[in-house]
Chains A and B, each alone.
Chain A
């Protein structure tokens, strides 16, 4: 066969094969993104970030950067967040932990901003991996946002304004929505009780809204200059705009952190790229320990032996050439 034809035919065949694979949905590449593995745990977890088994669950450090795509932009003061994940009886638990020198849990004054953290997942209905910046037109995102002020509640009025006084309202009107317009309109900041985690959906900047179902639980603890927050939600997402989880299936996860002391709010935050969240069927075995020193040494020696062998082969090839020179 002539020289050009072989290559052209082969290139054409490979191109057709690739397009066919794409049409049939056959994966042709493996992702090499950082993976957070959620292992199955033998005991029911709690929302306490200090739950005993969390220390046995390995985590990953995810780097964060400033949000610079749209205004308000900025953030980037939190360099990384540590993530751990487990699941038990069809419920996913994710623990996020990051350094924060101050505990900012009040937004009573207009110059106060609260610490917060949010997890972002592709919506069940997304046709492609969405932009990690709040999703896009054909691929929405489901966001779970925990806020320190939502957890602290609104009982701080007496703390900040100890001399405040208000007339009493007639009992019959105390809970009348006409006197509580924010709550009547469903302003999530005004709503009290329930979980400090808001379940939100978005399909690009400026489209963020509260999801119909508020089924994400969470709790955060600040200790020794570090926040630790646990999120929990059942695998099944009710609506198409919710994330859905299945054991054995991977999805994507991105994180955003707000440092209230630095004025972080809205788009001014520290954000991550998507990492892969893999829900493993393997059970956590707290007692099992791998000797990593021995393994690293074995990998180094093995890798070194392979490279040395290849170099030796190459050198032997060169010397045999010299003897067989035409």
Chain B
């Protein structure tokens, strides 16, 4: 992998434990974030349809209570993972390490300062800067991945800038048109649709193809059964307003599922993990936790060798 090859040529600075710990941390974050998305962002929001009594209410309450515990666990795991990513990158690639560490450091500092509209605008600006910096710092990664990351950064930044302006309205900031956020979503959708071409796995096995068809079919069926509820759930869960024609979202879901499964089964596991983290982070992240997921996924895509870094000094160096 590019980063590992480059890393073996650099002087080793710092401890080896971040690289040792990263695979387990990434896995734990994926599990926790997935559980949070299902229990909290999805199940708790359909509470409006749950009857006020009976077994359904009991099951719903249990799921929501579990979700309320999973959320802080996922948040701490995501922040810890990003910090360890930064330390691992700092060892081999200082500039990228600084970017990875800047977001959680900034979030922790701002959280300690207290949350307010200005704080939130600063968080949004910090995330946008970090996302835009990653494609610039990539070295040796395929052009397709760089393009996907560039589109992701641009799409997210458009929405973050519009939201930051709204949060600074108390200071008299001019309001930016909502079309910025709409345009950003279209850019993100384009990145998803092009995933199989831009981030291709070595081979497309039956499982990946089945996942692709399954993902597209699931979205299509959901839209056909109850398009309005599906759109609301998409907004709550992933932050997308589905401004483009509906079939495109089904295709995008299929493209994402197929690419993730293909890389998980025989391609680049870091790509699978990175794409999943980006999806879990969502569009225009609603909180600092989702912003952390987004940046962690972006960094994994940009530096896939993070999950396979050498942990000892390279040969020939004392």
Q: With A and B bound together, what is the CA distance between A276 and B287 in angstroms?
A: 12
CB contact under 8 A between A68 and B232, given known A29-B75, A58-B169, A307-B132: yes
Q: With A and B bound together, what is the CA distance between A11 and B311 in angstroms?
A: 19
Binds B, one of A33-41, A43-51, A233-241: A33-41
B163 within 8 A of A: yes
Q: With A and B bound together, what is the CA distance between A326 and B45 in angstroms?
A: 57
CB contact under 8 A between A250 and B47, given known A30-B287, A61-B166: no
Q: Is the CB of B20 within 8 A of A31?
A: no
A310 within 8 A of B: yes
Instruction: Find the B residue at minimum CB distance from A35.
Output: B117
Q: Is the CB of A14 within 8 A of B80?
A: yes
Instruction: Find the A residue at minimum CB distance from B8.
Output: A326
Q: Is the CB of A34 within 8 A of B178?
A: no
Q: Is the CB of B95 within 8 A of A314?
A: yes
Per the CB 8 Å criterion, the residue count for chain A at the interface is 75
Q: Which A residues are in CB contact (< 8 Å) with B9? A: 321, 324-326
Q: Is the CB of A135 within 8 A of B48?
A: yes
Q: Is the CB of A326 within 8 A of B315?
A: yes
Task: Give min CB distance, A208 to chain B, whole Å.
Answer: 13
Q: Is the CB of B229 within 8 A of A69?
A: yes
27 A–B contacts from the bound complex (CB under 8 Å): A6-B20, A11-B24, A14-B28, A17-B76, A19-B69, A22-B69, A30-B110, A30-B119, A32-B124, A59-B175, A65-B241, A68-B231, A73-B228, A131-B45, A131-B47, A133-B48, A136-B48, A137-B52, A137-B57, A290-B171, A292-B173, A310-B98, A310-B133, A311-B136, A314-B96, A317-B95, A325-B9
Q: Is the CB of B73 within 8 A of A326?
A: no
Task: Give min CB distance, B209 to chain A, whole Å.
Answer: 32
Q: With A and B bound together, what is the CA distance between A289 and B174 in angstroms?
A: 12
Q: With A and B bound together, what is the CA distance between A10 and B77 in angstroms?
A: 9
Q: With A and B bound together, what is the CA distance between A138 and B50 in angstroms?
A: 10
CB contact under 8 A between A273 and B115, given known A10-B21, A15-B73, A39-B170: no
- Other A-B pairs beyond A8-B24, A21-B72, A30-B288, 4, CB < 8 Å: A23-B69, A204-B48, A307-B133, A321-B6
Q: Which B residues are in CB contact (< 8 Å) with A289? A: 172
A303 within 8 A of B: yes
Task: Give min CB distance, A283 to chain B, whole Å.
Answer: 12
Q: Which A residues are in CB contact (< 8 Å) with B73? A: 14-15, 18-19, 22
B291 within 8 A of A: yes
Instruction: Find the A residue at minimum CB distance from B289.
Output: A29
A60 within 8 A of B: yes
Q: Is the CB of B24 within 8 A of A4?
A: yes
Q: Mark A127-140, 1 if CB is under 8 A from B, else 0.
A: 01001011111110
Task: Give min CB distance, B307 to chain A, whole Å.
Answer: 11
Q: Is the CB of B232 within 8 A of A292?
A: no
A225 within 8 A of B: no
Q: Which B residues are in CB contact (< 8 Å) with A34? A: 163, 166-167
Within 8 A of B (CB), among A190-213: 203-205
Instruction: Find the A residue at minimum CB distance from B32.
Output: A15
Q: Is the CB of A31 within 8 A of B47?
A: no
Considering the complex of A and B, which 4 residue pairs feature the smallest CB-CB distances, nearest first?
A: A7-B24, A68-B228, A18-B73, A18-B76
Q: Mark B138-182, 1 if CB is under 8 A from A, else 0.
A: 010000000000000000000000010011011111110010010
Instruction: Find the B residue at minimum CB distance from A31.
Output: B287
A280 within 8 A of B: yes
Q: Is the CB of B25 within 8 A of A11?
A: yes
Q: With A and B bound together, what is the CA distance between A138 and B52 in angstroms?
A: 8
Q: Is the CB of A58 within 8 A of B170?
A: yes
A80 within 8 A of B: yes
Q: With A and B bound together, what is the CA distance between A220 and B315 in angstroms?
A: 77
Q: Which A residues are in CB contact (< 8 Å) with B178? A: 61, 63, 79-80
B64 within 8 A of A: yes
Q: Which B residues are in CB contact (< 8 Å) with A30? A: 107, 110-111, 115, 119-120, 123, 287-288
A278 within 8 A of B: yes
